[in-house]
Structure 1
Amino acid sequence: MPQRTPTEPDARRRIPRTDTLLAAPEFVAAAEQSGADAVKAAIQRAQSAARAGRIAPEAVAAAALADLSDRHGRPTSLRRVVNATGVVLHTNLGRATLSPGAREAMTLAGGYCDVEFDLADGRRARRGRGTLDALAERLPEGTGTLVVNNGAAALALVAATLAVAAGRPEIVVSRGELVEIGDGFRIPELLESVGARLVEVGTTNRTHLRDYDAGIGPATGFVLKVHPSNFRVSGFTSSVPIAALAPLCRERDLPLVSDIGSGLLTPDPLLPHEPDATTTLTDGAAIVTASCDKLLGGPQGGLVVGEPATVERVRRHPLARAMRVDKTTLAALEASLRSPTPTHQALHADADTLRERAERLAAAVGSDPACVGLTVEVVRSDGAVGGGCAPEVPLPGWAVRVPQRLAEPLRTGRDTAVDGELPSVVGRLDDGALLLDVRCVTDSEIPLVARALAAACREQS
């Protein structure tokens, strides 16, 4: 059994007491910022480290303060990431990045604001009216609008209102459109969770108008079209477009609901197979549901747009309150609707601009002494839309190719006296190398990525 050294008991007695440290001015100030419980816990962790011999007793106070700074010095545990994957709507990185205007709007809305108050007459007002008006301006005249907390909520709320609450719980849908969305969630399970029953018509690859006609019965609440945005079935296929299905629904006095998924509001020539809300409504859909944080380029949210009276029915359902968005989301969405978004700019970035950006990054890396001998190449790179949108559409662009061994240190980032705090840089592994695709890397981020590469090189030298 190991013997204690004669000095060990004395060293432990030099560990400062908890109450002594709590009374020190620096810890009193820390408690005002982080709370007394957090400060006490940091002190106790430092004392335990001293008792275990990992730090000197005299270092307990400094270690506790450093611990507090690391845990509570940031407003959030989230880390900033430079998206060098080439995937514009990267779900794991938060999908659409917000515009400067949207970020400013969220900061404004973070305090007291007139989200549900009329400053002119001092009475309660329609919640998020500016956002709803901005949305209506981007859609056909007379379109009703509602915003909920995500795209899945929008569809579930419509099902709860137009099918279950109406006493006609059946929803007619093509078998080829029973898709699985992110993280294992499936459209059928989502709809069934609110009490709806699905009537599947057609086959996986072919569904005809007569199949919908045969599937409609006295318990049908509505007919549903779901855009299978994250996959395509090719070959011997057939589906019924909205314009062909709408007359049947009008004849049967049934709403036609279309879940377009991505939130594209008007046609985009870059994405010819991606449905948009304006065309879908014009072709005869009564209700369109979609996400806000995909091609719309806004914060996470869900849209319910269409016939005003039908949208109002959805808004009045009790579940709508549970799915309501907060004031910061409303503010960010309004700003995103009223100005160009980073999503749109990244999708439509000019190839020459992307090449020049990649060349600037490569030159900055090559001129840093820490990167001497590093193989750096500017290469062509096909990006992707991401977010389950337009999987068949490549986005030709440019990237900087560096050794794969740099992927981990770039991803984890470093906080050093030389570089200061560096963001995480996430690229794409390709054929034994790391590609830093610049499609979503802003001009202001180029120097940061270059510094991060230099830090990674120093770490591995």
Structure 2
Amino acid sequence: MGAREDDRRRIPRTDVLLNDAEVRSAGRDKSVAEVEFVVRGVLARARSGQLGVDDVRAQVLSEVASPTYSGTPVLNATGVVVHTNLGRAPLSSGAVSAMVAAAGYVDVELDLATGRRGPRGLATREALLRCVPAAEDALIVNNGAAALTLVCTMLAQDGEVLLSRGEMVEIGDGFRIPPLIESTGVRLREVGMTNRTRLADYADAIGPRTRAILKVHPSNFRVSGFTTSVGFAELRTLGLPVIADVGSGLLSPDPALPDEPDAATTLRDGADLVIASGDKLLGGPQAGIILGSSALVERARRHPLARALRVDKITLAALEATLRGVEAPVPHYLHLDPARHEERTRRLADRLGATVVEVTGRVGGGGAPEVGLPGWAVVLPEACALHLRRGRPTVLARVEQGQCLLDVRCIPEESEEALESAVQFALSQV
């Protein structure tokens, strides 16, 4: 016991470590309070015997030098392009550069010609309208659920919205469309049946408090067989605003995703407003996009709730750069050249002494659930998956039927060397 107490006497004092020149230099990107928190934590572990006295200073230096952002960059080797658990869409280099440029002072709400306050995010709105000419106006909020909430509140806070039973969907993390809308004070009225809803069902449900009709794309499931649904042109004949939540963020038709609704077509077909996400098939930052009638979009823009849901300058910059720039990673990965995909996979397998199997990738993010993305993967022992997740760089692979599968579809070619290094480490641990 005496020896242990003697050891504890050698533990450096808090003020000594805080004034240590190397500690201060290592923690130059952290606040004084954060450095002190780290130092006190290390000292507490030393006093309890969890850390050796001689290791205290080195541990402090290591922890205060750690990044201020705790997120871990991940190489996505799952073959799922819009991977919700990995933050959905990876941004293009142009979008990243735009975010850096917008990080300082920027004319996000300033007219430089007059020196007076200007319209917020005008350039991003213009970029959206160039991509979707069928839209008269556009508004950007912080995510798809926010866009739906704002539109329903703006149109029907004192009334009700009609929605087909077959479109009463659950979105991510257990959130469901009905409670989301009803939380704003809007009554959601179900019409039709799960598999068949006709125009007459909508017409019969219209009452004195009915304010709008909502159609929600059931993005992550399909109802097939004996089904009936109503198109936008027919719904317009009922004399109410028609809202379409297409979800995925596809702005124009994509031949590779024939059943996925897009904003441009939906507006041309008769929807008054279209709601979409920016961080799915569009491949941009998290955002909710509202497109359509200039009168209705302006009403939404002027609604008090819009202030609470508006996006910041960083999001506006990233979205504008995504719309104006070269192809973003998401569409690139979705349309990856099959021959190039196979060539990269076999080259990696040859270097690792591994085999290759055919696999089917996925769009992800609730988009095009029935569309498979044919590809190839490197086969590794299942035990590699854990070591890949714990390694640096961190790699997330797919585990199926007792195998760890590496799909390079979503791995940038410039990251192949890092991927190989991570795999070599994982193989050395099994």
- TM range, normalised to the smaller chain? over 0.9
User: Does structure 1 residue 365 correspond to structure 2 residue 352?
Assistant: yes
Given candidates 59, 75, 86, the residue that maps to 1:82 is 75
Displacement after TM superposition at 1:66 (Å): 1.9
Superposition map of 1:391-410 within 5 A: 391-410=369-388
Give the equivalent residue in structure 1 for 2:365: 387
Give the equivalent residue in structure 1 for 2:109: 116
User: Does structure 1 residue 336 correspond to structure 2 residue 322?
Assistant: yes
Whether the aligned pair in 2 keeps the contact of 1:401 and 1:435 (CA below 8 Å) is yes
Structure 2 distance, partners of 1:22, 1:14, is 16
Give the equivalent residue in structure 2 for 1:345: 332
User: Does structure 1 residue 212 correspond to structure 2 residue 190?
Assistant: no
For residue 336 of structure 2, what is the amino acid of its counterpart?
A
* CA deviation vs aligned residue, 1:17-61 (integer Å, no higher than 9, x gap): 222333322234356532333333333333334434454434322
For residue 401 of structure 2, what is the amino acid of its counterpart?
D
Structure 1 distance, partners of 2:21, 2:220, is 57
Structure 2 distance, partners of 1:262, 1:26, is 49
**Percent of counterpart pairs with the same letter?**
54
Displacement after TM superposition at 1:365 (Å): 2.1
Superposition map of 1:431-450 within 5 A: 431-450=401-420
Whether the aligned pair in 1 keeps the contact of 2:136 and 2:293 (CA below 8 Å) is yes
- State the TM-score, normalizing by the size of structure 2: 0.96
For residue 348 of structure 1, what is the amino acid of its counterpart?
H
Give the unaligned 5+ runs of structure 2: none
* CA deviation vs aligned residue, 1:356-389 (integer Å, no higher than 9, x gap): 11012112323xxxxxxxxx11111110111001
Give the equivalent residue in structure 2 for 1:25: 21
* CA deviation vs aligned residue, 1:61-104 (integer Å, no higher than 9, x gap): 222222222xxx21311001111111111111111111110111
Q: SS in structure 2 opposite 1:435? A: strand
Superposition map of 1:221-232 within 5 A: 221-232=211-222
Whether the aligned pair in 1 keeps the contact of 2:127 and 2:320 (CA below 8 Å) is yes
Identify the range of structure 1 (25-34 vs 142-151) with the bigger mean alpha-carbon deviation: 25-34
Structure 2 distance, partners of 1:346, 1:227, is 23
Displacement after TM superposition at 1:217 (Å): 1.4
Whether the aligned pair in 1 keeps the contact of 2:134 and 2:267 (CA below 8 Å) is no
* CA deviation vs aligned residue, 1:412-432 (integer Å, no higher than 9, x gap): 21xxxxxxxx22111111111
Structure 2 distance, partners of 1:53, 1:142, is 66
Structure 2 distance, partners of 1:53, 1:439, is 47
Q: SS in structure 1 opposite 2:409? A: coil
Structure 2 distance, partners of 1:55, 1:268, is 57
Give the equivalent residue in structure 1 for 2:189: 199
User: Does structure 1 residue 171 correspond to structure 2 residue 161?
Assistant: yes
Larger radius of gyration: 1
Give the equivalent residue in structure 2 for 1:149: 142
Structure 1 distance, partners of 2:24, 2:286, is 39
Structure 1 distance, partners of 2:58, 2:152, is 58
User: Does structure 1 residue 159 correspond to structure 2 residue 178?
Assistant: no
Whether the aligned pair in 2 keeps the contact of 1:131 and 1:330 (CA below 8 Å) is yes
Q: Count residues in correspondence.
A: 429
Give the unaligned 5+ runs of structure 1: 367-375, 414-421
For residue 330 of structure 1, what is the amino acid of its counterpart?
L
Whether the aligned pair in 2 keeps the contact of 1:383 and 1:397 (CA below 8 Å) is yes
For residue 319 of structure 1, what is the amino acid of its counterpart?
L
For residue 371 of structure 2, what is the amino acid of its counterpart?
V
Q: SS in structure 2 opposite 1:454? A: helix
For residue 385 of structure 2, what is the amino acid of its counterpart?
A
Give the equivalent residue in structure 1 for 2:424: 454
Displacement after TM superposition at 1:125 (Å): 1.0
Q: SS in structure 2 opposite 1:240? A: coil
User: Does structure 1 residue 42 correspond to structure 2 residue 38?
Assistant: yes
Displacement after TM superposition at 1:211 (Å): 0.6
Q: SS in structure 2 opposite 1:232? A: coil
- State the TM-score, normalizing by the size of structure 1: 0.90
Whether the aligned pair in 2 keeps the contact of 1:47 and 1:60 (CA below 8 Å) is yes
* CA deviation vs aligned residue, 1:274-302 (integer Å, no higher than 9, x gap): 11111111111111111111111110000
Change (3 A) 1:270 1:25: same
Structure 1 distance, partners of 2:425, 2:187, is 57
Q: SS in structure 2 opposite 1:409? A: helix
Whether the aligned pair in 2 keeps the contact of 1:140 and 1:282 (CA below 8 Å) is no
Whether the aligned pair in 2 keeps the contact of 1:361 and 1:447 (CA below 8 Å) is no
